[in-house]
């Protein structure tokens, strides 16, 4: 399965969003997104991967495209995991023994699916911010 993931935060910390697109075949795609308050961009980048792995626990052949060197390098063991240990523990739990082939994609470069997941993540963060502002003004 081919997957694109992305995360966004409006501020660091701030309102955050994540999104992924799982491409099953040429006719079937799943677009899934969500948000979290008081978070960081790196947490949302990693959360997008965790959410994908949680939604597709039986998928064994996984290629993940990401524009996050943080996620790719920490997940691959190139960089030491120093922060967000709670999420890295969750990642390991949902990953199990499934291998992932990581592919770096340049952000904001016109890659169709990277642009889609960027919009999913950014829109979720903006919606959360707008809803908080609305609630605060009631």
Domain ranges of the chain: 2-136
Catalytic residue check, 108: yes
Catalytic residue check, 136: no
- What is the predicted pLDDT for the residue at 107? 84
- What is the predicted pLDDT for the residue at 93? 97
Q: Which of 26, 108, 110, 136 is catalytic?
A: 108
- What is the predicted pLDDT for the residue at 135? 62
Catalytic residue check, 67: yes
CATH number of 2-136: 3.30.420.10
Catalytic residue check, 33: no
Residues of the chain with pLDDT under 50: none
- What is the predicted pLDDT for the residue at 37? 96
Number of residues written out for the chain: 138
- What is the predicted pLDDT for the residue at 132? 74
- What is the predicted pLDDT for the residue at 108? 81
Note the pTM of the prediction, 2 decimals.
Answer: 0.93
CB 43 within 8 A of CB 64: no
Catalytic residue check, 45: yes
């Amino acid at each position: 399965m081919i997957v694109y993931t992305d995360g966004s935060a409006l501020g660091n910390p701030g309102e955050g969003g994540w999104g992924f697109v799982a491409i099953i075949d040429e006719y079937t795609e799943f677009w899934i997104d969500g948000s979290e308050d008081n978070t960081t961009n790196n947490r949302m980048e990693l959360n997008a991967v965790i959410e994908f792995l949680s939604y597709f626990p039986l998928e064994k052949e996984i290629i993940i495209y990401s524009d996050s060197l943080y996620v790719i390098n920490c997940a691959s063991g190139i960089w030491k995991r120093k922060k967000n240990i709670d999420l890295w523990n969750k990642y390991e739990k949902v990953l199990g023994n499934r291998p992932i082939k990581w592919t770096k994609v340049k952000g904001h470069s016109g890659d169709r699916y990277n642009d889609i997941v960027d919009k999913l993540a950014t829109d979720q963060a903006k919606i959360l911010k707008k809803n908080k502002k609305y609630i605060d003004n009631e």
